[in-house]
Amino acid sequence: MTAWSEEADRLKGAWRLQLRVERVLHQEKTEHQDLLLFENPLFGRVLALDGIVQTTERDEFFYHEMLVHVPVLAHGAVERALIVGGGDGGALEELLKHDRLRAATLVEIDQAVIDFSKAHLQAICGQAFDDPRLELVIADGLAWVAEQRGRRAPFDLILIDSTDPVGPGEVLFSESFYADCAGLLAEGGLLVTQNAVPFTEPDSLAKPLAALGRSFAATACYRVAVPSFFGGDMVFAMASQDAAALTVEAAALERRFAEAGIETRYYTPAVHQGAFALPPYVAALLEA
């Protein structure tokens, strides 16, 4: 009998998504969540937490390249970065491609996610967890960020690579968390959050964006279509105290990308600029 992993609509019960499970590679209930790693003929190795697909071997680059390279190249001089979440190591691996980066701190609540990513998802994380620039912290991201203000040098970039706003990731969409993050950013620094797929989960974009706007002077959204995420484009939110930091001319992006010397499979400066063009149904959520 063919086995299937099923992800169901958590809001209205309107849809179910199934992926064929060719082989279960790892399954456990950790201290924080149910973890499942399995092989699928299209997506390769698939990581699901609490039944929700988080990343896959074959399409992770859509998500991780846009999460990381858009803000890094928009900023142009990121030397210190913080990732909250991101235990699969995909965002970290992309971030560490930038030679200008001197230090990266990753705060992950669940050690088990990191352990099995290192063991089973090296196609996603590579050797990122062994990079000497990494400071790895196993802690609740909400509490850790709240405790850091004034204790360390500010960050040029903060990436919130969280699960969707249910379970352990829910607190990472709160106004108090965004305010604490704002206090850790250097002048001209950028914050980027993942805000799910607005067609299926509109509240994952509208409410967090309103909260971001109460802690940051300027916000913007950009999008990417991740094949394994059902419902169309997903959206990232970017925030800064400097509105000019959110818009970069094409020539500057081209120059920075060339100087970085990185190879990408999704990101280009042209894709970067086009990603900020929002369809009306998404723009309407931000105006509600």
CATH superfamily of domain region 3-56: Spermidine synthase, tetramerisation domain (2.30.140.10)
Query: How much is the pTM?
Result: 0.94
pLDDT (tens digit, 9 = 90+) per residue, 211-222?
A: 999 999 999 999
Supply the DSSP string of 177-224, one letter for each residue: HHHHHHTTEEEEEEEEEE---TTT-THHHHHHHHHHHTT-SEEEEEEE
* Half-sphere exposure (Cβ direction) of 262: Cα atoms closer than 13 Å: 24
Identify the active-site residue in 88, 156, 161, 180: 161
Whether residue 161 lies in the annotated active site: yes
* pLDDT on residue 172: 78
* pLDDT on residue 10: 67
* pLDDT on residue 206: 87
Q: What residue ranges of the chain have pLDDT lower than 50? A: none
Tell me if the domain spanning 60-287 has CATH number 3.40.630.30: no
pLDDT (tens digit, 9 = 90+) per residue, 245-261?
A: 898 999 999 999 999 99
Give me the phi and psi of 269, to 5 degrees please: -55, -35
Q: Give the Cα separation of 132 and 138 in Å (integer).
A: 17
* pLDDT on residue 146: 93
**In sequence order, which residues have a C-beta less than 8 Å from that of residue 212 and are 6 or more positions away?**
178, 191, 193, 219, 237, 239
Q: Which two tokens stand for residue 194?
A: 């993942």
* pLDDT on residue 168: 59
* pLDDT on residue 205: 87
184 CB burial (10 A radius; 0-12, 13-18, 19+): buried
Tell me the C-alpha to C-alpha distance, in Å, between residue 285 and each of 171, 204, 218, 219.
21, 10, 17, 14
Break the chain into its structural domains and give their ranges.
3-56, 60-287
State the chain's mean pLDDT as an integer: 92
Q: Give the Cα separation of 27 and 48 in Å (integer).
A: 10
| AA identity, residue 196 | A
* pLDDT on residue 202: 87
